[in-house]
């Protein structure tokens, strides 16, 4: 297994966690705790950074500063701070200073303190990063409630005593502290956690599956990482950490992301600031507001929302697609494949190194959509370009807000030679351990050893119990459109009566018409070139009947106004429209002759792609004896769980009652 940083943050994270439980409890909802705790952690860290850096500036320029006026000295220090750490605070307060001022003016002073933070901006009109984070964190809307309940002072006092100075808490450790807090709050609010928090073991697996450790990175070499639905930024920072600990810690790794939820974006930005990351994370909707329209990236990793409707923004998305979604659009009830298309548009040219993508989907993108439809066309585009490398089926019940099946797709336009023209499916649904305590829908986790197993199966690239290798065409199929001729119970052709208009100067004798000609006439006018006409033996006869063994024709002439109208009622074969799905590698005619009993006529076909993952790994399990199941029910009712643990566990699984 790859190396990991072993940093203990339990003490610091525990102190901060305790503030929430001791001070905010009974006054705020648990879901509101992060609105206060996250920005307080950020501003405490920022003021600790400012304090150390200000001391460093004063030590370096002390003699010069002492000769300046107070105003000039303050501006001089601020300019140096902008250059070194990228932000300042002009309020004149610290958390300790707010505490020392006393409770009477704590509210107004705290507001001034928050307003005093400013980020360095390249242009005057550029947004103030820190102020945006504070704004979207939601802390300002809670100040009145904090103050009226006499706990604003207590919160400030507690955070003033938490030591987060860079000399004792490095950026890496500070990042781990913040990540730990995000994890704890996400798990505590488990019903909402999945919206922006992906379990760490899933992220670890995805970072390993990108095979970055096989790349030879030079010192200072630029590596770009992108997440179009970055949430709190966990995937971005985890992938950077993987590169620094397993590939080259001197590589120049730059992070890019976009997040639509204001509050989640503020958490991500706070996390990146705390870690000292020079990252670019845009607040906006990736689908219609591409934050990086001209950028391409080396690695992309994401867990976008799935099963989420995009119908309300569809018009806006397509108006601002810039070609990203021209390949095809998924159904409006589920926009997750739009993120895949967006990431494909961000791939570098293979001649310039290409790109690799790891993305989480539910089962829908594997098979939803008909041949020629949006989803199938997107799969076709990915597979026929030979970009799909691997799909891994994860255990269910891994995520906090859903227990459904999920899959990791590995997509790259720079496949190694041994993988070209091939697709690997890995069935890792049984690679899990039970959680000691359920967290919302999360009842399972992937242990480190199981992550290692999955990664090794991927690297081995062999057909085993858990891995299968396919050609690209194995997932292609024909949807064939046919016309079938109906037969009666005796196996004879069925006919139906059809009235057709007949031209008066008809040349073709009706009795000479073949069944195929009659069939063609069914939906055509007699004036069309390929439609045959009828010759009447005697126009003076009102009705002429001609009978043959296989058809009956009745010809009529009627006066419609001043025009003579001739019609024929003919018996035509009963035709039924049909569609058949045929594996692409199979011979179509042979397949139809074998599988379709009725006489068929080929009309047209469409090529589609689907990945029937579950079917490929299906293993038949015979039904257990009824007596055994009934006895297990009795054991459960009597509380005799230990009589047959294995049997009871199986029964519980079948009932969806996993303990």
Q: Where are the beta strands (DSSP E) in 157-305?
A: 222-227, 252-259, 280-283, 299-302
pLDDT band at 252 (very low <50, low <70, confident <90, very high): very high
529 domain-assigned: yes
Report the run of H or E that residue 42 belongs to, with start and end.
Answer: helix 33-66
Q: Residue 477: what pLDDT? A: 96
Instruction: Judge whether 480 and 580 are in contact, CB under 8 Å.
Output: yes
Between these two residues, 652 and 525, which has the higher pLDDT value? 652
pLDDT band at 504 (very low <50, low <70, confident <90, very high): very low
Mean pLDDT score of the chain: 85
Does 16 share its domain with 158?
Answer: yes
Q: What is the mean pLDDT of residues 514-534?
A: 45
Q: How far is CA 156 from CA 10, 138, 149, 273, 322, in A?
A: 21, 17, 14, 21, 48
CA distance 557 to 564: 7
Residue with tokens 């998305």: 317
Q: What is the mean pLDDT of residues 587-605?
A: 92
Q: How many CB atoms lie within 10 A of CB 630?
A: 10
Does 628 share its domain with 537?
Answer: no
- pLDDT of 604 higher than 90: yes
**What Rg value do the Cα atoms of the chain yield, rounded?**
35
- pLDDT of 575 higher than 80: yes
pLDDT band at 523 (very low <50, low <70, confident <90, very high): very low
pTM of the entire predicted model: 0.81
Residue 428, SS3 per DSSP: coil
In a 10 Å sphere around its CB, with 0-12 CB exposed, 13-18 middle and 19+ buried, how is residue 387 labelled?
Answer: buried
**What percent of the chain clears pLDDT 70, i.e. is strictly above it?**
84
Phi/psi class of residue 392: alpha, beta or left (left: φ > 0; alpha: ψ in -120 to 50)?
beta
551 domain-assigned: yes
Lowest mean pLDDT among 366-370, 451-455, 547-551, 567-571: 547-551
Does 521 share its domain with 632?
Answer: no
CA distance 165 to 143: 26
pLDDT band at 499 (very low <50, low <70, confident <90, very high): low
364 domain-assigned: no
Which DSSP symbol is given to 218? Answer: P
Q: What is the mean pLDDT of residues 538-559?
A: 42
Report the run of H or E that residue 545 belongs to, with start and end.
Answer: strand 543-548
Q: Residue 598: what pLDDT? A: 86
Q: Residue 189: what pLDDT? A: 74
Does 636 share its domain with 569?
Answer: no
591 forms bridges with which residues in the sheet? none
Residue 31, SS3 per DSSP: helix
CA distance 550 to 571: 9
Does 639 share its domain with 567?
Answer: no
User: pLDDT per residue over 171-210, tens digit each?
Assistant: 888 988 988 898 888 877 765 544 557 888 999 999 999 9
50 domain-assigned: yes
Domain ends where: 167, 184, 201?
A: 167
Does 521 share its domain with 651?
Answer: no
User: pLDDT per residue over 467-497, tens digit each?
Assistant: 999 999 999 999 999 999 887 777 777 877 7
- pLDDT of 514 higher than 80: no
Does 96 share its domain with 17?
Answer: yes
Q: Which domain holds residue 629?
A: 620-659
CA distance 435 to 658: 11
Domain ends where: 140, 167, 194?
A: 167
CA distance 504 to 509: 12
What burial letters (b/e) apply to 452-482, b meaning 16+ CB within 10 Å? ebbbebbeeeeeeebbbebebebbbbbbbeb
- pLDDT of 77 higher than 80: yes
Domain ends where: 573, 601, 635?
A: 573
Does 540 share its domain with 630?
Answer: no
What string of DSSP letters covers 557-570?
A: EEEETTEEEEEEEE
- pLDDT of 562 higher than 70: no
298 domain-assigned: no
- pLDDT of 556 higher than 80: no
91 domain-assigned: yes
Does 125 share its domain with 55?
Answer: yes
Report the domain count for the chain: 3
**What percent of the chain clears pLDDT 90, i.e. is strictly above it?**
60
- pLDDT of 610 higher than 60: yes
Does 631 share its domain with 548?
Answer: no
Q: How far is CA 439 from CA 192, 199, 325, 658, in A?
A: 11, 11, 37, 14
- pLDDT of 551 higher than 90: no
Q: What is the mean pLDDT of residues 382-390?
A: 98
Please give the backbone phi and psi of residue 118, each rounded to the nearest 5 degrees, phi first. -145, 140
Q: Residue 535: what pLDDT? A: 36
Does 500 share its domain with 637?
Answer: no
- pLDDT of 652 higher than 70: no
- pLDDT of 558 higher than 80: no
Instruction: Judge whether 302 and 344 are in contact, CB under 8 Å.
Output: no
- pLDDT of 536 higher than 50: no
User: Could you tell me the two tokens for 643?
Assistant: 């009589």
Residue 524, SS3 per DSSP: coil
- pLDDT of 513 higher than 80: no
Does 33 share its domain with 127?
Answer: yes
Q: What is the mean pLDDT of residues 612-636?
A: 83
341 domain-assigned: no
């Amino acid at each position: 297994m790859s190396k990991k940083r072993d940093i203990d943050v339990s003490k610091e994270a525990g102190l901060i966690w305790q503030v929430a439980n001791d001070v905010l409890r009974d006054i705020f909802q648990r879901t509101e705790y992060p609105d206060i705790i996250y920005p307080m952690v950020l501003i405490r860290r920022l003021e600790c950074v400012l304090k150390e850096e200000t001391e460093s500036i004063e030590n370096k320029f002390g003699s010069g500063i002492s000769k300046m006026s107070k105003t000039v000295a303050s501006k001089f220090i601020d300019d140096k701070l902008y250059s070194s750490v990228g932000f300042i605070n002009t309020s004149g307060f610290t958390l300790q200073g707010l505490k020392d001022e006393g409770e009477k003016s704590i509210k107004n002073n705290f507001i001034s303190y928050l307003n005093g933070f400013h980020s360095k901006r390249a242009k005057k009109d550029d947004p103030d990063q820190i102020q945006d984070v504070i704004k979207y964190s939601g802390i300002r809307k809670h100040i009145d409630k904090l103050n009226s309940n006499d706990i604003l002072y207590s919160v400030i006092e507690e955070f003033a005593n938490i030591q987060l100075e860079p000399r004792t808490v490095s950026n890496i450790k500070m990042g781990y502290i913040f990540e730990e807090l995000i994890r704890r709050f996400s798990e505590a609010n488990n019903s909402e956690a999945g919206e922006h928090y992906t379990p760490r073991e899933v992220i670890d697996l995805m970072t390993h599956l990108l095979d970055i450790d096989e790349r030879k990175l030079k010192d200072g070499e630029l590596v770009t990482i992108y997440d179009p639905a970055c949430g709190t930024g966990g995937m971005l920072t985890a992938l950077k950490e993987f590169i620094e600990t397993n590939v080259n810690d001197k590589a120049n790794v730059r992070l890019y992301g976009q997040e639509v939820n204001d509050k989640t974006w503020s958490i991500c930005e706070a996390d990146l600031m705390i870690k000292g990351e020079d990252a670019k994370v845009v607040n906006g909707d990736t689908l219609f507001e591409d934050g990086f329209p001209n950028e391409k990236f080396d690695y992309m990793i994401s867990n976008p929302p799935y099963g989420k409707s995009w119908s309300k923004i569809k018009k806006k998305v397509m108006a601002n697609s810039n070609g990203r979604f021209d390949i095809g659009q998924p159904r409006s009830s589920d926009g997750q494949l739009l993120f895949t298309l967006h990431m494909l548009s961000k791939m570098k040219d293979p001649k310039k190194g290409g790109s690799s993508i790891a993305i989480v989907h539910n089962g829908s993108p594997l098979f939803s959509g008909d041949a020629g439809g949006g989803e199938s066309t997107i799969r076709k585009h990915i597979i026929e370009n030979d970009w799909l490398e691997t799909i891994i089926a994860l255990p269910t019940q891994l995520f906090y807000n859903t227990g459904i099946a999920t899959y990791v797709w590995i997509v790259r336009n720079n496949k190694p030679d041994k993988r070209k023209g091939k697709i690997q499916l890995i069935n890792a649904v049984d690679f899990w351990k039970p959680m000691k305590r359920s967290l919302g829908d999360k009842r399972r986790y992937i242990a480190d050893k199981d992550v290692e197993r999955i990664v090794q199966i991927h690297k081995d690239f062999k057909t085993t119990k858990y891995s299968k290798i396919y050609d690209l065409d194995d997932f292609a199929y024909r949807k064939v459109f046919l016309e079938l001729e109906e037969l009666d119970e005796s196996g004879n052709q069925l006919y139906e009566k059809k009235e057709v208009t007949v031209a008066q100067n008809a040349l073709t004798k009706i009795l000479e018409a073949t069944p195929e000609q009659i069939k063609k006439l069914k939906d055509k006018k007699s004036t069309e070139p390929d439609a045959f006409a009828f010759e009447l033996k005697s126009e003076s006869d009102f009705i002429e009947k001609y009978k043959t063994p296989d058809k009956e024709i009745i010809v009529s002439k009627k006066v419609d106004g001043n025009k003579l109208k001739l019609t024929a009622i003919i018996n035509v074969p009963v035709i039924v429209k049909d569609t058949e799905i045929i594996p692409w590698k199979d011979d179509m005619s042979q397949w139809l002759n074998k599988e379709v009993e009725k006489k068929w006529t080929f009309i047209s076909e469409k090529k589609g792609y689907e990945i029937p993952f579950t079917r490929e790994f299906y293993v038949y399990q015979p039904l257990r004896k009824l007596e055994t199941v009934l006895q297990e029910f009795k054991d459960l009712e009597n509380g005799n769980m230990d009589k047959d643990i294995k049997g009871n566990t199986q029964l519980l699984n079948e009932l969806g009652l996993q303990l």
